[in-house]
Amino acid sequence: MAEIKLKEVREQLRSMTDVELRNEVAAQRANLYHMRRRAALRQQTDTAAIRTARKQIARALTLLRERELVAQRGEN
């Protein structure tokens, strides 16, 4: 499976709506929980995936915050 480049990931996230971003965060958090459980049980072979999932969550939350700040500036 080919890895998606970081630029493509950012473009995908930016094209999502706020609701889709929140759903993405929830899905990634659930995925992260399961990866951490598997890692604790020594069943997780790709431990770098945990770091990748955390970064994906951070990217989505950052975009949500940016949109929130833009909306606040528009109201003023």
16-75 in CATH: which number? 1.10.287
pTM for the whole structure: 0.87
Q: What is the pLDDT along the chain (76 residues), one digit of tens a residue?
A: 346 788 898 999 999 999 999 999 999 999 999 999 999 999 988 989 999 999 999 999 999 999 999 999 988 7
Domain ranges of the chain: 16-75
Calpha distance 66→7 (Å, rounded): 18
Reference 31, options 11, 17, 51; nearest CA is 51
Calpha distance 68→37 (Å, rounded): 33
